[in-house]
Amino acid sequence: MDDHSDDIRRPLSPRIEVYAGVGRKQWPDDLKAQIVAESFEPGAIVTDIARRHGCRPQQVHDWRRRARSGQLVLPASADTVTFVPLVSETSPSAAAAPSGSSEAAIVTVEFLGARVEVRGTPGLAVLSDVFVALRRTRSC
């Protein structure tokens, strides 16, 4: 039995390459930032992240460099404390008048469906702990 796989007279199987793109893909900055933030997670492997998102590892490394230099703004992490507008349910004149008793003060926080009331005059550390606990709670 003869092997004809090297026979040059035999026509080669046609090779067809299909390119369905329309040029370079434009990555929105918010998607780049999301991918970079994912790559900064402990134990993350850039090659795996790039493959999952359909880009090259070199792109992710370039975006990481841009993020470090401040050219790409990353989304805030869960540990970052942010501020929201304060809404007062009382009139400005009633809020400015001292009540005379520090125990009468109540701070009410409504966040993602949860409601927390802090009575008295809590310090900044106590309020910060309340906000961090709310953010970390998955049920609210």
Please give the pLDDT value at position 44.
93
pLDDT at residue 100 is higher than 80? no
Q: pTM here? A: 0.42
The tens digit of pLDDT for each residue in 32-55 reads: 999 999 999 989 999 999 999 999
| Other Cβ atoms within 10 Å of 71 Cβ, number | 10
What's the mean pLDDT in 99-127? Answer: 72
- Tell me how many degrees the CA angle 45-47-49 measures, rounded to the nearest 5: 70
Q: Where are the domains of the chain?
A: 29-69, 106-137
CB contact at 8 A, 119 and 105: yes
Please give the pLDDT value at position 139.
47
Cα 119 from Cα 109, distance rounded (Å): 11
The tens digit of pLDDT for each residue in 49-93 reads: 999 999 999 999 999 999 888 888 877 665 555 566 666 666 555
Q: Which burial class, exposed, middle or buried, applies to 55 when counting CB atoms under 10 A from its CB (0-12, 13-18, 19+)?
A: middle
- C-alpha to C-alpha distances, 106 to 34, 46, 77, nearest whole angstrom: 38, 48, 29
What's the mean pLDDT in 118-128? Answer: 77
* 20 vs 132, more confident: 132
pLDDT at residue 101 is higher than 60? no
CB contact at 8 A, 118 and 107: yes
The phi, psi pair for 86, rounded to 5°, reads -90, 130
Confidence of residue 3 (pLDDT cuts 50, 70, 90): low
